[in-house]
Structure 1
Amino acid sequence: MQNKELLQSYHMAGLFTLTLRLVIGWTYFSAFWRRLILENKLDPDTAGYIGEKFNHFLPNALGIKPIIEYLVTTPDALWWAMAVFTIVEAIVGLFIMMGLFTRLMSIGVFSLAMGILLGSGWLGTTCLDEWQIGVLGVASGFTIFLSGSGKYSLDYFLQTKNYKITKHPIFSWLGSGVLPIRFTVLPKIVFGGALAILALTLYTNQYFHGGVWGTLHNKSVKPKIEITNSTLDQDVISFQIFRVEGADVYGSFLIGIKIVDGNENTILELDQKALANFPKENIKNRYVAQIKSGKHSMIIPLGAKANLEIREEKLAHLSNGSYKVILTDISGLTWTDTFEINK
């Protein structure tokens, strides 16, 4: 009798989380639906390729930068990773909406949400979108694991029809029903898990956005380019640019590159027309998201990194001293790097 009442309590808890299960399931299944049914976003040669979106995560990801960087520098591995990720999202989303192997799928929800949180939690031009999706997904996965699914689920159907699989002890861990955890221990697990997820929420909110104390910041608002490794070799100047901040839905538009000496005298200047016709072979892209010349400027997507080379005869005759490379965005923002000539 006691076990039956306990099972009914779990079924009721699973019933209460039905809305959560359906909504969180659709958020993941819809990713598959958008990428393969409504459009084909797994084609590397088309606009909107999901691999480029993944590349946008790189500059400020938390803890998983090496994984992201490896994938965006290895296009074949990236494609397979995106394909597997999309299939997993489809299975997890569909199964959790149907309430089939609910607890196993909730682990999938938790894991996918954690990946979103760590990779893209810093993105979001208005409402910290990706961070909110990530932390709510983590909390939802944990909650659904505890509750399982209730009356409106395939797990419940299998249990009420006494299918053999539901009699196996592992079904309680992978499907629904009574968790085989002592009642005196379960509240501690719930409380500890809730505190851990709250701590994760506060930590990532502070790390990505300064949302707990100090100055608020949003790295998705204004473009920022890091320019490094400026060197001069004979008549060729080369430098590396890496766009690390700004909105992920459009690029930074570079309209000027200038080289000046220590007295701010202009040595060389490329305007937006020159950048719109910048030689493709002089842009050495590192990642899937690529810097390229556009119609009116040079376009630098979020997460793109490349070495740029400029060949000009007058550079070979520069005297010793300190020089600066200045990049100018269409917004008026500028970024600078210095280099020395010691012949």
Structure 2
Amino acid sequence: MTASGTMPASEPAASAAVSSDTRSLSAWELVAYAMLAVRFVQGFIYWGGGSRRFIYGPQKLDPHATSWMANKFQSAMPGAILWTSHIVDFMLRHFYLLYAGVIIFSAIELFFGLFLILGFMTRLSALVSVGLSFVLMLLFGWQGATCIDEWTMAACNFGMGMALFAAGSSAWSLDAVIARRKPALAAKPWFPWVTSGPLPLRVFRPLALIVTVITMAFVLLTYNYYRGSVLTPFHSGPTSPTVHHLSVSKAVATADGSVTFTVYLDGGTPEAPAHVVRARLIGPSGEVEAVWGPDALSALPASSVVNDYAYNKFKPALMGLAAGMGARAQITLPGMPGETVAPGSVIELQTIENRLFKAPVQSAAGN
């Protein structure tokens, strides 16, 4: 300011230049520039998942490899929600459907992740990433050895996908190039909903609110289900992601004294197998009638361990039986000649962590 209170001539010019520079970018371009980092990260996460299987680690798509994706899907089955566990169970029993599903899922990750990186069909690609995040939450949201790692990944990707759907990518993107070079195409009513064009304010405001409400509901409800701390007190989750748990059922004793039962590894970390080191048959009065120790379990023939699935399995190991997450099998423990199992007996399995899992034994005639 001068002594007379007037502004020097240079200051109005500078102020006008700033205002002009600000007005030269539309609101959609400003949002697009701000979302560039989010667009790249969201796209790279999914492109990375697909490219690992198709390019850098093709053994993940090899049904004969230990890193075959079916093992990962099976490991998710114990804690999967909204009937997705039944879908996985059905696919694991039908190889061609399973293989096609893994290929299609991986291809969707690969292509739509790349589309997000390039800013091509951004809104459609963002919606696809939201769908992928939703499926991954239902399948893997319960897992995480130290915290709910998979929930965090799915929740963040869901929120980023919703934000990209609302914002589009009107700058530094293939969408912007197409809109500039094909104005007639960009004028089509559907074009901005598939790509990145500006939306009318009367549409964008309620859309932003809807996107936010859906994201909040998805994040809060799944977090409350897996850990509480929103509508209920904190809890460790319906399915433990850290401590192995065995469900023992359908235990039947035959006339020769052998016992057949179904065992399902339905809790714990998929990063390490569970180990069953001892089985005991306990009589109705609490007396131990038979014991199968580590050596006996390790020596079980293949015919005595019938797995439901061809991937993660129960199998004889160095000390007892080992099982990968989601494994389920019918196991037959041999009896002694002339022995019978008394009514009211219980089969008990002991893990290497000294945890016990039991089921009542019925006679074959009783079934």
Length-normalised TM-score, structure 2: 0.86
- For the residue of structure 2 that corresponds to 1:195, the secondary structure is helix
Letter in 1 for 2:104: V
Match of 2:204 among 186, 189, 194: 186
Q: Partners of 2:350 and 2:24 in 1: how far apart?
A: 66
Alignment of 1:1-343 (within 5 A): 8-39=26-57, 40-63=59-82, 64-162=84-182, 165-179=185-199, 182-212=200-230, 213-218=232-237, 219-235=240-256, 236-287=258-309, 288-314=311-337, 317-318=339-340, 320-341=342-363
Residues 165 and 51 from structure 1, CA distance in 2 versus in 1: closer, same or farther, beyond 3 angstroms?
A: farther
Structure 2: unaligned runs, 5 residues or longer: 1-22
Alpha-carbon deviation of 1:306?
1.0
Indicate how the Cα distance of structure 1 residues 94 and 167 shifts in structure 2: closer, same or farther if over 3 A, else same: same
**More moved, 295-304 vs 159-168:** 159-168
- Match for 1:171: what amino acid? F
Residue 216 of structure 1 aligns with an amino acid whose one-letter code is H
Residue 11 of structure 2: aligned partner: none
Per-residue deviation, residues 104-143 of structure 1 (Å, max 9, x unmatched) = 1011100000000111100011121111111111111111
Contact 2:297 2:321 in 1 (8 A): yes
Identity level (%): 21
Q: TM-score, normalised by structure 1?
A: 0.92
Deviations 1:32-88 (Å, cap 9, x if unpaired)? Answer: 222232222011111111111011111111112221111122222111111111111
Larger Rg: 2
Task: Tell me whether 319-328 or 243-252 shows the greater mean CA deviation.
Answer: 319-328
Contact in 2 for aligned 1:11/1:177 (Cα 8 Å): no
Partner Cα distance (1:30, 1:140) in 2? 16
Does the CA-based 8 Å contact 2:74-2:88 persist in structure 1?
yes
Q: 2:252 is matched by which residue type in structure 1?
A: T
Equivalent residues, number? 336
Distance in 2, Cα, partners of 1:178 & 1:6: 16
